[in-house]
Amino acid sequence: MALSTGREDIDYFRTRVLRWGRQNFKNFPWRSVNNSWHALTAEIMLQRTKADQVLPVFMRFAAKYREPIDFVAKPAPLFSRLGLPIRDDQFLALNRTLISLGLPNEKAELLELPGVGDYIASAFLSLHLGKRAVLIDANTVRVYGRFFGFETGPETRRKRWLVELTEEITPMRVFRDYNYAIIDFSREICTPRKPQHEVCPLRRKCCYLQKIVDKHH
């Protein structure tokens, strides 16, 4: 699929999402944590779970455990509390692996860890280790699809053209700011059911909004 996304539209999108993100940054505790293991755990918790639900579970976890060996010695059902009990065994396996191998800082090695997929690895690298990586999940796909005007489905995030678009939009230097911005923007403004059109900084060029306007004229 060839997208008709011009440089002007990409610059418009990036600039406004970045600006909005810096003005509306959500200072969750895992965003400023110094413990890399805590940071990775937070990204695992956040996959398919709302930040507000993760917050109390993460805070108890971070206060109780300092490193993987502590958790393995006295494991707790963290993910059962988030409604994802199947992940508890996986997380225990992850920590046993980390005890023996240490915590990797390269994507290929992170992807070999139990329970760590592409999004978690990319989020950990770009948000916590200062290494550029692009974020692609259902939320970012929704935002891009609405703004640029392409249909989306369960497999869209795996398409090469979508990866290429995300690579082009994500800044080379301020990728961390941008990635946090797109996360917060998809949660606060471009929501699945009731997007906040009236306060959206992208509304002037958004294909999704234009379709709605055209429909009512």
DSSP category for residue 61: H
Span 163-174, mean pLDDT? Answer: 97
Rounded distance, CA 139 to CA 144, Å?
A: 9
Rounded distance, CA 65 to CA 37, Å?
A: 10
Q: What is the pLDDT of residue 213?
A: 81
Rounded distance, CA 114 to CA 37, Å?
A: 14
Q: Which residues contact 119 (CB under 8 A, 6 or more apart)?
A: 47, 135, 136, 137
Rounded distance, CA 52 to CA 109, Å?
A: 30
The CA–CA distances, whole Å, from 57 to 36, 184, 210 equal 17, 20, 40
Rounded distance, CA 85 to CA 154, Å?
A: 23
Q: Where do the structural domains in the chain lie, given as residue ranges? A: 7-26+133-215, 29-128
CATH topology of domain 7-26+133-215: Endonuclease Iii, domain 2 (1.10.1670)
Rounded distance, CA 26 to CA 13, Å?
A: 20
* Residue 2 predicted with pLDDT over 50: no
The string of pLDDT tens digits covering residues 94-121 is 999 999 999 999 999 999 999 999 999 9
Q: What is the pLDDT of residue 214?
A: 77
Mean pLDDT value across the chain: 95
Q: What is the pLDDT of residue 215?
A: 76
Highest CATH level, class, for 29-128: mainly alpha
Span 148-163, mean pLDDT? Answer: 94
Please check whether residue 25 is in contact with residue 176, taking contact to mean a CB–CB distance below 8 angstroms. Answer: no
Span 164-185, mean pLDDT? Answer: 98
Rounded distance, CA 212 to CA 191, Å?
A: 16
Of the listed ranges 2-16, 137-151, 200-214, the one predicted with least confidence: 2-16
* Residue 1 predicted with pLDDT over 80: no
Span 119-142, mean pLDDT? Answer: 98
Within 10 angstroms of residue 59's Cβ, the number of other Cβ atoms is 12
Rounded distance, CA 48 to CA 45, Å?
A: 8
Q: What is the pLDDT of residue 99?
A: 98
